[in-house]
Amino acid sequence: MSAQADTGGKFTGKHMLAIILAFFGVVITVNLVMAVAASRSWTGLVVKNTYVASQQFNRKAEEGRAQAALGWKGKLAIADGRVSYRLVDAGGALVPADGVVVTFRRPVSDAEDRTLTLERGADGTFSLAEPVRDGVWIVEVDADAGLEKPYRDVRRIVVGNGEMK
């Protein structure tokens, strides 16, 4: 005679064990895959020291208000493989600048971040022949316009087919 009893399709402890092992196996596998993907992507670092950044917030906000009170507008253009920037005052007249530095950052990765120093053209516009890849960018422009600190223009842009949208 056989020592095993015929279960006849009944749910047994072995079935429950298999379900529990499968469930937790899937959960652990997904967690490991997500952890590896996260560790290979952007670090998430925004500032090195949050305490110091929080102490500087009010000062930076005041600098931003003072800059906004000037009424200046930056005109950024990306087209035909060129990046150009022009700074004008409230009346539309060109603001003379000694130099313009543009930093391109991806919102979620630092792999493609780069900084460009634009060259002054005869008309006072700063530009550089440098193609920009398609996608979303955070652009930081620092223009040395004779102020105590450079005029700072930060914006989020979308580039498609080599042109700013």
DSSP string, 4-42: SPP-TT---HHHHHHHHHHHHHHHHHHHHHHHHHHHTS-
For the segment 77-107, what is each residue's pLDDT rounded down to a tens digit? 999 999 999 999 999 999 999 999 999 999 8
Judge whether residue 1 has pLDDT over 70: no
Closest C-alpha among 86, 92, 94 to residue 153: 86
What is the chain's percent helix, strand, coil content, to nearest 5?
30, 35, 40
| Residue 102 CA to its chain's centroid (Å) | 14
Q: Distance between CA atoms of 132 and 81, rounded to whole angstroms?
A: 7
Which residues is 104 bridged to in the sheet?
Answer: 114, 139
Q: How confident is the model at residue 109 (pLDDT cuts 50, 70, 90)?
A: confident
Whole-number pLDDT of residue 94: 93
Q: Distance between CA atoms of 143 and 98, rounded to whole angstroms?
A: 8
Q: Distance between CA atoms of 34 and 53, rounded to whole angstroms?
A: 30
Q: Distance between CA atoms of 130 and 107, rounded to whole angstroms?
A: 20
Torsion from C-alpha of 20, 21, 26, 31, nearest 10 degrees? 100
Whole-number pLDDT of residue 5: 60
Q: What value does the mean pLDDT take over residues 15-26?
A: 97
Judge whether residue 159 has pLDDT over 90: yes
For the segment 28-85, what is each residue's pLDDT rounded down to a tens digit? 999 999 999 888 877 777 778 889 889 899 998 999 999 999 999 999 999 999 999 9
For the segment 121-155, what is each residue's pLDDT rounded down to a tens digit? 989 899 999 999 999 999 999 999 999 899 999 99
Whole-number pLDDT of residue 136: 95
Judge whether residue 7 has pLDDT over 80: no
Q: Distance between CA atoms of 143 and 126, rounded to whole angstroms?
A: 10
